[in-house]
Structure 1
Amino acid sequence: MSDEAPTPPPARSRLRRAGGVPAQLATALRTPARTAQPLFAQAPKAWQRLLPHAVVGIFVVTLLPVTITVLTDDYGAAGGWAGALGVAQTVPLLLALTRPLPAWLLVLGADVLGALLLTRADEVGGHAWPWPPMTLIGYLVLMACLGLRESVRTLVGVWLATGAVSLVLALFRPAGTTDTSALLFVLSGTVLALTGALRGLGDARQRIAEQEVISEAERSRRTLLEERARIARELHDVVAHHMSVITVQADSAPYRIAGMPEPVREEFAAIAASARESLGEMRRLLTVLRGDGTNGGGEGTALAPQPGIGRLQQLVEATVRAGQPVELSLAAGAVGVAPPAVDLSAYRIVQEALANVVRHAPGATTRVAVTADEDEVLVLVVNGPARDAVVEVESSGTGHGLVGMRERVRLTGGTLDTGPLPDGGFRVAARLPLGDGAGDGPTGPVVPDAAKNTDEEGS
Structure 2
Amino acid sequence: MKIALPSPRALALLRPTAESARPLFARAPKRWQRWSPYVVTGIFVVILMPTSIAVLTNDYKAGGWAGALGVAQTVPLLLAVTRPVRAWLIIFSADVLGAILLIHADTARRPWPWTAAVIVGYLVLMACLGLREKTRTLVAVWLVTGAAGVVLGADAPAGATSTQVVLFVLAGVVLALTGALRSRGEAERLLAEQETISEAERAQRTLLEERARIARELHDVVAHHMSVITVQADSAPYRLTGLDDAARGEFESIASSARESLSEMRRLLAVLRSEGSGEEGGERAPQPGVDRLQQLVEATVRAGLPARLSLAAELPALPPAVDLSAYRIVQEALANVVRHAPGAGTRVSVTCDDRYLTVLVVNGPAAGRTSPLEGSGTGHGLVGMRERVRLTGGYLDTGPLPDGGFRVAARLPLDPPSVPDSLPEDAS
TM-score by structure 1 length? 0.54
Residues 32 and 243 of structure 1, relative CA distance in 2, 3 Å threshold: farther
Cα RMSD, aligned residues only: 3.0
C-alpha distance in 1, partners of 2:247/2:414? 28
Once the two structures are superposed, the pairs formed by residues 183-194 of structure 1 within 5 Å of their partners are 183-194=166-177
C-alpha distance in 1, partners of 2:181/2:139? 16
Equivalent residue for 2:104, pick from 117, 120, 123: 120
Query: What is the deviation of 1:34?
Result: 4.0
C-alpha distance in 2, partners of 1:397/1:218? 34
Query: What is the deviation of 1:245?
Result: 3.1
C-alpha distance in 1, partners of 2:17/2:242? 86
Q: Which residue of 2 aligns with 1:81?
A: 65
AA aligned to 1:91 is V
Q: Which residue of 2 aligns with 1:203?
A: 186
Query: What is the deviation of 1:77?
Result: 2.2
SS of 2:232's equivalent in the other structure is helix
Residues 228 and 146 of structure 1, relative CA distance in 2, 3 Å threshold: same
Query: Structure 1, residues 48-85: CA drift from partner, whole Å, max 9, x if none?
Result: 1111111111111111000011112222221x211111
AA aligned to 1:50 is W
Residues 264 and 34 of structure 1, relative CA distance in 2, 3 Å threshold: same
Equivalent residue for 1:450, pick from 411, 422, 425: 422
Matched, 1:275 2:247: no
Q: Runs ≥4 in structure 1, deviation > 6 angstroms?
A: none
More divergent stretch after superposition (188-197 vs 110-119): 110-119
SS of 1:35's equivalent in the other structure is helix
Q: Which residue of 2 aligns with 1:99?
A: 83
Question: Does the aligned pair in 2 maintain the 1:140–1:187 contact within 8 Å?
Answer: yes
Question: Does the aligned pair in 1 maintain the 2:209–2:276 contact within 8 Å?
Answer: no
Q: Which residue of 1 aligns with 2:144?
A: 161
Once the two structures are superposed, the pairs formed by residues 196-345 of structure 1 within 5 Å of their partners are 196-255=179-238, 260-262=243-245, 264-276=247-259, 278-279=261-262, 282-283=265-266, 286=269, 292=275
Question: Does the aligned pair in 1 maintain the 2:209–2:277 contact within 8 Å?
Answer: no
C-alpha distance in 1, partners of 2:85/2:155? 27
More divergent stretch after superposition (92-101 vs 190-199): 92-101
Equivalent residue for 1:71, pick from 29, 44, 56: 56
Q: Which residue of 2 aligns with 1:140?
A: 123
Aligned residues: 276
Query: What is the deviation of 1:40?
Result: 1.9
C-alpha distance in 1, partners of 2:206/2:116? 63
Higher RCO structure (Cα 8 Å, ≥6 apart): 1
Residues 233 and 90 of structure 1, relative CA distance in 2, 3 Å threshold: same
Question: Does the aligned pair in 2 maintain the 1:119–1:174 contact within 8 Å?
Answer: yes
Q: Which residue of 2 aligns with 1:44?
A: 29
Residues 204 and 68 of structure 1, relative CA distance in 2, 3 Å threshold: same
Equivalent residue for 1:109, pick from 93, 98, 103: 93
Query: What is the deviation of 1:266?
Result: 4.0
C-alpha distance in 2, partners of 1:44/1:146? 22
TM-score by structure 2 length? 0.58
Query: What is the deviation of 1:284?
Result: 6.9
AA aligned to 1:197 is A
Equivalent residue for 2:417, pick from 400, 412, 417: 400
C-alpha distance in 2, partners of 1:164/1:207? 35
Question: Does the aligned pair in 2 maintain the 1:38–1:97 contact within 8 Å?
Answer: yes
SS of 1:216's equivalent in the other structure is helix
C-alpha distance in 1, partners of 2:66/2:138? 30
C-alpha distance in 2, partners of 1:45/1:278? 62
SS of 1:400's equivalent in the other structure is coil
